[in-house]
Structure 1
Amino acid sequence: MGERAINLNQQLNYIEQLFSSGQIKKAQKDLRKLNTQFGRDKPIPSKFKHRFQRLNFTAKEFDDWAEFATSDKRTELISKVNSLTNQKLEPRKLANQINSLQKQWQNLDQHGKTASKEKWASFKTACEEAWAPCKDYFQELEGKKEENRDKKLSLIEQVISFPSGKTEETITVKEIVNFLKTLHEKWKSFSPVPDADFQDLNKKFKESKKGINKLLSDVENFNKVKKEEVINSVKELDKENIDESIAKIHEYKEQWRKLGPCGRKLDPEVNKQFEDQCNEFLLIKDKELDESRGILEGILKDLRDKKIAPGDAEQKFAELENLQDQPEVKKFKKAIKDYAEKQKNEKVQEKLKIYQDFIENLVDKGAAKVSKELVPSFVNGEPKNKMDLNEASIRFQMFAGLDPIGPKEIVSKIKFEELKNRFAEKDVNQEEKVIEHFANLTYSKNLINKENLSDVKKAMLRALKKVETLLP
């Protein structure tokens, strides 16, 4: 076999492989190219004629199948375009739908046999009819685009003129940033613009901001210099005179708060320098305050333990000068108040304990056997008529607001009397009344009935607790 025959055999083998692997378009293209190499003057070698015929038949068969497969699909696309005219879609959405169907038609042309003239004419007419509602919309849109273009050109002029007459001393970073923020919001809102102007407008907009960006940089540098001046002022403060230096630091912090930023990258670094310088002094102050707070805790402990009197505690606290403008002042005043309240409560409890002992001895032994030391000092004379101890205890319980415990007949009698007296007495002095009851108890006669002794004692102690605020 000659070299030419070997080459032709290889080409036919390759085309057969393309058909077998499903690469139909490629196989058909290569086969057409090979067919052009032979004709009337140059016939196909006889040994290869059969293979040529078989491959050409296969190619035509695939064409027939492709035409059959795409014919129904093209008819379906024409129907879909026709149906769009009745769907009342929003113009932009309608345009997108038409465009999508047109791409599907083109895809069939690329992967199958080209459509017949009749089908193409039907599809083209359907697309033009469906497009009719979009025409006015896109004409109006073009007008809007031109309007937006003019607005953007006006905005560019505003940006160019913004820095005019402004210096780093007359404008702040915040004002510039707010202008830029509003500027970009407006720029975005003026869309869309004509396609032909899009890139040129963006380029001009970018160029127009050079002046305002330089002004922003100048203001940030101005702020940087001012902040460095404040930092140097803090460095020069005297660490020996810490209180005066701390007062100045508070002034510098207020001054710092009013200064604008010096750039997104530089600001954190400069702020840290300022804080570090201030903290050197504040740490010294904190150390002194911690020492004084420790001394204060010792003073408060001695006060609670009653090792020092309130007056001595106040004198010692006054010596801690660096705490006089600190929250510890409030803490110390509260401790003094709590101490006084505690002392008062302790005295009340001591007094109450004496009265409790008096009541218990009275109920257990009777008035005659109660020690004179237990008799309350406010009882300063005998009543005109000595009262039976049962009666005196019942009246005392009722005065305290309790349901009294004692002999039933005496309870009933006293309740009836009290009921009558309630309507007769006016403006009763409760302090005088409690003294009167104690006098009746102190100079009472007889003893408590033994069967009620325990319950009466409990009731009397409860009554005492009820009237403790009235006791002298």
Structure 2
Amino acid sequence: METHKTLFESLDKAEQHFEAGQIKLAQKLVNEVSRSIKSEGKVSNKLRHRFNFMSAQSRYFNDISSFATNPKRNEIINEIEVLIASPHENPKKQANEIHGLQTKWQLLDQSSKPAGREQWTTFKTLTDKAWEPCAQYYDELKAIKIENARQREKIIEELINYVTNNSSKWPGLIDMTRYLSATFQKWQTFAPVLDDDFKKLKEAYHQARKPINDAIRNEENKNYKAKESLIEKVKLINDEDTQSCIQKFKKIKSEYQNVGPAGKKNESKLWKQLNESADRFFEAEKSLANDELELINQLSDKLQEDPSSINTIKEQLRDFNKTSKSPEFAKLQKNIKAQELEQSKIKDANKLTTYQNLLSYLETTDESKATINKDVFKALQSPLYTANDNELLECVVKLELIAKIDPPASDKPLKQKLSLEMLQDKFSGKSTSNDEIKDLLIKFINNLQSKKINSNELKLWKRMNEVFDKIISQLP
């Protein structure tokens, strides 16, 4: 039952990762649950239904991944078509560019769902045609790919030998994890390989790693059970002498700490259970908790009298370890957050006013305005004035998408283009940063026509002000 509970928790975490856009982490958890269900054999219908739902989610995001990566493959195809139309005079340079495009294609296949047959056929046909002007160099590059495949075969052989030599008595978890990481880094250096070798080598590589991964999971499971057993021992301690109980607990705690890792997701939970099982032995510490409660009341009064003392109070609260879960502590924390929120609102209101008035600082020499982000202030002092309305509109629409504001219908084509780019960035692990927002602001300033704002720029700036109100916390 406990295993089933853990599996349910893993599926809940996977769902949270999916909702947060952390697709790889979520799919990893779903795969781990799948392996556990297979090893368990018979599981409850409730667990199987839950797993089937999350498995469908995982497949859905695989399809979405294809949606995100296929445009990138099309970009590679377009680059090859350009190379065919205008080949390099230097065959070595031509070959190197093709080699680079093949590497990009293979990395996409390795990090997401492989390309479809039609897309792959187009890519291969165009690649073969692009090779024609540099036939004399082709053999040399082919030799490199063959050598890369040979080196990858060596890595696979090393993995197999590692398993053979260690399967009777596996090294420690940390050693095995470091070994897998080192071999993966080595594997990545030997790319690309011939297309005919790629899939075969990839499958052999994963099969060679599998026994090590299985050994890591098995060792973590053993450690998990060993730590659970020690926690149960603590629960059974029932001596009349408190000091005797504490000494026995410390001995068991020492044994616990000598047990190896039980998996990152389990360690904090088990450690908490171990210490909570021994809390009853430390009744004498209640007096310390009472002292903390008295100090909490004093700090609460101080916060009401002087809201500016928040940082000092927070610093003092860091040392509170006896009452951190008490209602008094929670109430003080709530009051602190309320005061911080109020101060934050005032700060945000002032910040919003500053940004809404940015255009009034164009070509400013007033150094008192230097409280604005230094890069934005520098752009305001010396704008480029490139007078590019298209760039201005793109800045506004992208900021609207970041702020989750729907641009006008007239900007629908630009919205679709930018939305697709942002979706592709999301699936490649990139997220919108404060620096990107800052760069868009600077880009807007530099693409104005002049210090005298025209009617179109004024309309766009009005839309920018609506954006500022939505993303005030992200503004530089």
TM-score by length of 2: 0.33
Query: Quick check: which one's helix share is greater?
Result: 2
TM-score by length of 1: 0.33
